[in-house]
Amino acid sequence: MVKRMNEPRRDSCVVCGSGDARSLSTTTLADGSEVPVCGSHALSHARSGRLARTLADLRDLTGERRRVPDRRSVAVDELARSLTDAFAPGRPRAQARRRSSS
């Protein structure tokens, strides 16, 4: 049997390529086909609340989210600020930390 180039390998995660059999699972695409994914990407797909239509869509939904090298540079919303203040009251704010380290 000849494998097609666009057919995913069944022994590794189609998102990250992890081949550790202990962590492999499957997830279902919108067309009903099952594709192999590692546990992290299976969970990420389940939490996304959407069914991926294609492998490319699955990779977009579950791929690397840390596109900004320094996530502290992203604006903090009011809820995040309130939670930080409530659970770490003595912790200096991000702006103060950056100024003092320069």
- pLDDT band of residue 78 (cuts 50, 70, 90) is confident
Q: Count other C-beta atoms under 10 Å from residue 63's C-beta.
A: 12
Instruction: Tell me the residue range of the domain where 79 lies.
Output: 73-101
Is the Cβ–Cβ distance between 18 and 41 less than 8 Å? no
Query: Does residue 63 belong to any structural domain of this protein?
Result: no
Query: Does residue 95 belong to any structural domain of this protein?
Result: yes
Query: Does residue 38 belong to any structural domain of this protein?
Result: no
- Quote the CA–CA distance of 88 and 83 in Å, as a whole number: 8
Dump pLDDT digits (tens) for 17-73: 888 888 899 999 999 999 999 999 999 999 988 899 999 999 988 876 655 555 555
Instruction: Give the residue, 63 or 5, on which the prediction is more confident.
Output: 63
On whether the pTM is more than 0.95, the answer is no
Query: Does residue 17 belong to any structural domain of this protein?
Result: no
- pLDDT band of residue 5 (cuts 50, 70, 90) is very low
Query: Does residue 60 belong to any structural domain of this protein?
Result: no
> What is the number of structural domains in the chain?
1
